[in-house]
Amino acid sequence: PHICMQCGYEGDLLCERCQKTLPSLHKQCYRCGQKTMDSLVCTSCADKTPLASILCDVEYHGIARNLIHAVKFENARAGTKTIARIMAQYLAPLPAHAVLVPIPTTNQRRRQRGYDQAELIARELSQLTHLPYAHLLERHGSSHQVGATRKVRAQQITGCFTVRRQTHAPAVVIVIDDVITTG
């Protein structure tokens, strides 16, 4: 069985009690950090992004960072279920007509890990929320974001994703990833 990374309790990589101790982020604009209602993009940043909001409940440090690191670099696939449970609590309620879409990792990382962590999180979140999961994005290239500056990340990601051909576009797309960097 898994052992809680924080308290040592047997059964999960991060037990429910320790999940509740994770430091929550204030609802804010992901670009500038200004507090906003429901993590909407603020009016100053709205013309700089097509995104309406980015929801993130937990700061990426301490035990949360350790959990993500274990999932991504220590083959701790079970951590994706923990992450999905945390997301499900934070995101509720979601629009019934929404579709969950993971941000695909590079083919190289998928081969190294044997899985795509965002895909596993989105699939688990789909089961928890009863929302459909769809693999709508395709990733091109193999640039890694780890350690890159915001400017370099933005350059690397430009043109990196395409939308797979669909018979009809979903009304609401909720994009799922494990870490927010540049948005």
Cβ atoms of 128 and 174 closer than 8 Å? no
Residue (of 106, 129, 126) closest to 116 by Cα position: 106
- With 80 as the cut, is the pLDDT of residue 32 above it? yes
pLDDT-derived band of residue 148, with 50, 70 and 90 as boundaries?
Answer: low
What is 86-135 written as a DSSP string? HHHHHH-S--TTEEEEEPP--HHHHHHHSS-HHHHHHHHHHHHHT--B--
pTM: 0.81
Place of tokens 């695909």: 104
Whole-number pLDDT of residue 147? 63
pLDDT-derived band of residue 156, with 50, 70 and 90 as boundaries?
Answer: low
Place of tokens 């395709």: 138
Mean pLDDT of 41-46: 91
Whole-number pLDDT of residue 52? 82
Residues 6+ positions from 38 with CB-CB distance below 8 Å:
27, 53, 55
- With 70 as the cut, is the pLDDT of residue 154 above it? no
Cβ atoms of 160 and 143 closer than 8 Å? yes
Whole-number pLDDT of residue 114? 92
CA neighbours within 13 Å on the CB side: how many for 107?
7
Pick 102 or 90 by higher pLDDT. Answer: 102
- With 60 as the cut, is the pLDDT of residue 183 above it? no
Whole-number pLDDT of residue 9? 92
